[in-house]
Amino acid sequence: MTDLIHPTAIIHPKAVLGENVRIGPYSVVGEHVALGDNVTLHSHVVVDGHTTIGENTRVFPFASIGHAPQDLKYHGEPSRLSIGKNNTIREHVTMNPGTETGGMETRVGDNGLFMMACHIAHDCILGSNIIMANNATLGGHVHVGDFAFIGGRAAPYQFLWIGSHPPIGGMFRGAKKPNPPCRG
C-alpha cells in the first residue's frame, strides 16, 4: 500500500485508510479522517477534521475538505463531514463540517460531481447524483435533493431547500423576497 502514497504526503498515524487508497504529492490527511477503499487524493489535497470519504471518490488538487466551518458560532466542537462514494471533487473545492446549530454534520451523497471551486458550507445535506458547476456555492444549512444540477456561480443562500431533479441556473442567488405591502 505504501507505493500508492507519495513520499511527500503527510498522513496522521491515526487516520484510517481503506484498501488501494492513492495519496498524491504534498497532500495532508488529518487525525480523524477515514478514507474508503480506492479513494484517490491527487496532489496538494488537504483533508482534516472528523471527515469520512466514501469509496471510489476522487479529490483533485488544492481541495480543502473538512476544515472548520466559516461560521462565527463554531467554537471547535467535533462536528462531522460525511462524503459518500463515487464522488468527483475537482480543483479548489471546499467542504465544511457541521455546527451545533445544524446537527453537527454536513452530508454529501453518492455519485456527485463538484466542479472547480465549489463550496459546500456547514450543515448542508446533499442527496446523490448532484452536479455543481464551476464556482457554485451553497450557504449554510442548504438541503439539496437527488439529481439536482446547480449552474456555474449559483449561490443558494442559507436555509434553502432545493428538491430533487431541479436545474438551478447559473448565477442563481435564491428566491426573491416579495415586495412589502403598500402602506399608503
The predicted-structure confidence for 49-70, as pLDDT tens digits, reads as follows 999 999 999 999 999 999 999 9
Helix, strand and coil content of the chain, in percent to the nearest 5, comes to: 5, 30, 70
Known active-site residue 184: no
pLDDT above 70 (res 178):
no
Radius of gyration of the CA atoms of the chain, in A: 17
Asked whether 56 and 74 are in contact (CB, 8 A), the reply is no
| Catalytic-role residue among 32, 44, 50, 122 | 122
Which triple of cell numbers denotes residue 182? 403598500
Asked whether 51 and 30 are in contact (CB, 8 A), the reply is yes
DSSP assignment letter at 111: S
Q: How many CB atoms lie within 10 A of CB 173?
A: 10
Known active-site residue 152: no
For the chain, what percent of residues have pLDDT higher than 70?
A: 93
Known active-site residue 122: yes
What is the per-residue pLDDT for 2? Answer: 56
CA distance 116 to 24: 18
| Catalytic-role residue among 24, 140, 141, 145 | 140
pLDDT band at 159 (very low <50, low <70, confident <90, very high): very high
| Catalytic-role residue among 123, 127, 139, 145 | 123
**What average pLDDT does the segment 2-27 reach?**
95
What is the per-residue pLDDT for 177? Answer: 47
